Amino acid sequence: MVRLLLLFALCALPALVSAHLPTGKPFFIKGRVYCDTCRAGFETTATTYIAGAKVKMECKDGDTLRVKYSLEVVTNENGTYEIMVEDDHEDQICECVLVSSPVTDCKVADEGRSKASALLTGYMNGVVNRKHIVNNMGFLKDQPLPGCPELLKTYFPTDEEQ
């Protein structure tokens, strides 16, 4: 019985210890930044995507909320950004945050769509894929486009229109 327990300990302990060590495999985060041209609070068929917008990935300590990891990137011509994050951030709160928009009349971040959370750990959450697509984030157009009232009716029809 003692030999069996010793054998189990020799086999299981290395696996348990290595589960808490960084894997060295990066996480890949992908998202898009848009201009809410109708000021709807969500993407519509009139939404445009912003090239050259700045996005920051930040991971903060879960207890102190001090920034432990930070990286800033710029969106491509399609408004898409990709961030490679090294190692596991098991006990940290990680999110992408809007920084700035190069579009003159679309610079104010939509408060409800200015951040996107990212879970960057493979420990005890069943994550096999290290690629994560996060929610799109948006800036608000200063003035809605002229056709927006009609467009928004297609998203929110009244009882008479159904």
User: How does pLDDT run across 125-139, given as a tens digit for each residue?
Assistant: 555 567 788 999 999
CB 125 within 8 A of CB 89: no
CA distance 41 to 46: 12
Eight-state DSSP code of residue 159: G
CB 54 within 8 A of CB 84: no
What are the backbone angles phi and psi of residue 69, rounded to the nearest 5°? -150, 135
CA distance 93 to 143: 34
Tokens linked to 9: 């300990």
Q: Which CATH architecture has domain 24-151?
A: Sandwich (2.60)
For the chain, give the percent of residues with pLDDT over 90. Answer: 51
Report in angstroms the alpha-carbon separations of 125 from 36, 90, 120, 121, 129: 34, 10, 10, 8, 11
User: How does pLDDT run across 48-97, given as a tens digit for each residue?
Assistant: 999 999 999 998 888 888 998 899 999 999 999 999 887 765 678 889 99
Give the SS3 label for residue 13. Answer: helix
Report in angstroms the alpha-carbon separations of 60 from 19, 30, 68, 74, 144: 21, 19, 5, 21, 36
Residue ranges of domains in the chain = 24-151
CA distance 148 to 77: 24
CA distance 107 to 53: 10
pTM for the structure as a whole: 0.77
- Report the pLDDT value the prediction gives residue 14, as an integer from 0 to 100: 46
